[in-house]
Amino acid sequence: MTDPIITYKNESVLAWLQEKAISGVHIDYVRPDDIAHRHVYGRLPYWLAAFADQVTELTVPRLHREDRDRYENGRMTVQELDAAGAQLVTYQVRKVARA
């Protein structure tokens, strides 16, 4: 089994993943060949996600509006992310042939 690919750059998210014992190969910029048939942790456009086997992203459903800048800039603690309901959601994206 190959290691997952991690595309997140956000330091808060990377710390959260590490706290949850999720590791993999970190790649800042991925091409289809990098992720083909692999599990990816990160956000990808649909066209690129379709190359991966699975794409898992961190959602933070209770993130307060006033905390968005801190989140986007990687300045939230693992505990703050947990309090905001941080959770992983996995998707499988498939390209559908045109009729």
Span 8-35, pLDDT tens digits: 999 999 999 999 999 999 999 999 999 9
Within-domain flag for 77: no
Within-domain flag for 25: yes
Within-domain flag for 43: yes
At 1 the pLDDT is 66
What is the rounded distance in angstroms from the CA atom of residue 46 to the CA atom of residue 68? Answer: 24
Within-domain flag for 72: no
What domain range includes position 55?
1-61+85-92
Within-domain flag for 71: no
Within-domain flag for 67: no
What is the rounded distance in angstroms from the CA atom of residue 88 to the CA atom of residue 99? Answer: 34
pTM of the model: 0.91
Give the pLDDT band of residue 2 (cuts 50, 70, 90): confident
Within-domain flag for 8: yes
